Amino acid sequence: MSGAGDKKGSPGLENAYALETPEDNLRLYADWAASYDSAFAQDMDYVLPLRVAEAYKLAGGVGPVLDLGAGTGLCGGALKMLEVGPVDGTDLSPEMLAVAAHKDVYNALFVGNLLEILPVSDGAYAGAVSSGTFTHGHVGPEALGEVLRILRPGGLAALSINAEHYEAKGFAAGFAALGDRIEGLSHRQTRIYGDAASGSYAGDHALIVKFRKRQDA
Ligand SMILES: C[S@@+](CC[C@H](N)C(=O)[O-])C[C@H]1O[C@@H](n2cnc3c(N)ncnc32)[C@H](O)[C@@H]1O
C-alpha cells in the first residue's frame, strides 16, 4: 500500500479515512486484516503503535491495560516488548482480532464498539492505550466518556489522535467536557510513519494525548 491512494473498493489508508459508519469499518477491515501488517504497517513504516506504548510506559503506565481498537495487535505487541502488561485488546473487527490472537500478546481479546458500551465493567483497567483508531472515518471524541468509564480511579490513558481529526472533530471540547473527572492532560505531536514511508500520507502527524482519571472521579 503506497499511501498515495487506493484502488476503488480496496483496503488502504485513503479508503479507511473515507469511512463513515462502524458498518463501513467492519467491511473494510474484514478485507484488510490479512495484509494489514505487511502491506500497510511494514510498507508505511508505521511507528505510531510503538510511540503510544512508549508514552504509556514513560508516564508510569502499568497493567492491566486495555488496547482500544487493537486491530492486529501492533500496540499490544509494543507494550509487551516494553514489558508492560497484562494487556487485553478490543476491536470492532473480529477479523483484525483473529490476526492479533496469533501473536501471543494479549491476555484476552474481545469484540467491542467504542461508540457504544464496551463489554467491560466500570473501572476494570489500570490503563488504556489506543493507536490509529481515533482517526478520520473511525472514532471521534464521543468515545472519550467510554474510555474514562473503563479506567479505575487514578488509571492512565495514552491515546493517539490524528492531528487533523483532532481539530476537525473538536477533541479539545471533548476533553473539556470530561471536566474535573480527569487530570494531568497532556498532548505531544508525533509522526505516524517513519522515514521509510512514502506517498501522500507519509508526513502525517498524530497527537499522543495522556490523562489520568481522578481518584475521586
Ligand atoms: C488503523 S486500525 C489501527 C489498529 C491498531 N491499533 C494499529 O495501530 O495498528 C483502526 C482500528 O480501529 C477499529 N475500529 C474502527 N471503528 C471502531 C469502533 N467504533 N470501535 C472499536 N474499534 C474500531 C478498526 O476495526 C481497526 O482495527
- Is residue 159 in some structural domain? yes
Ligand 1 atom nearest the C-alpha of 67 is: 6
The response to whether residue 28 sits with its C-beta less than 6 Å from ligand 1 reads no
Write the residue with the smallest CA distance to atom 27 of ligand 1.
71
Instruction: Give the pLDDT score at 73.
Output: 98
Q: Which atom of ligand 1 lies at the shortest distance from residue 113's CA? A: 20
Residue 2 pLDDT > 50: no
Question: Looking at 8-22, 34-48, 75-89, 148-162, which range is the least confident one?
Answer: 8-22
The answer, yes or no, to whether residue 7 has pLDDT greater than 80, is no
- In short, whether 115's Cβ falls inside 6 Å of ligand 1 is yes
The CATH number of residue 125's host domain is 3.40.50.150
Question: What percent of the chain is predicted at pLDDT more than 70?
Answer: 95
70 CA to centre of ligand 1 in angstroms:
6
Residue 76 is assigned to a structural domain of this protein: yes
Which pLDDT score is estimated for 14?
Answer: 86
- Establish whether residue 160 lines the binding site of ligand 1, counting it when its CB lies within 6 angstroms of any ligand atom: no
Q: Do the domain assignments include residue 144?
A: yes
Q: Is 75 in the pocket of ligand 1 (CB under 6 A)?
A: yes
What average pLDDT is seen over the chain? 94
How many domains, in total, are found in the chain?
A: 1
Which of these, 16, 40, 52, lies nearest to 160 by C-alpha position?
52
Closest ligand 1 atom to residue 52 Cα is 8
pLDDT at 4 exceeding the cut of 50: no
pLDDT confidence tier of residue 1, bands split at 50, 70 and 90:
very low
Instruction: Find out whether the beta carbon of 77 lies less than 6 Å from any atom of ligand 1.
Output: no
- Pocket of ligand 1 contains residue 100 by CB under 6 Å: no
Q: What is the pLDDT of residue 59?
A: 98
pLDDT score, position 3: 41
Distance from the alpha carbon of residue 216 to the mean position of ligand 1, in angstroms: 30
By residue range, what is the domain housing residue 111? 45-213
Q: In this predicted model, what pLDDT tens digit does every residue of 90-134 receive, in sequence order?
A: 999 999 999 999 999 999 999 999 999 999 999 999 999 999 999
Q: Is 163 among the domain residues?
A: yes
Q: Is the CB of 139 under 6 A from ligand 1?
A: yes
Residue 9 has pLDDT above 80, yes or no: no
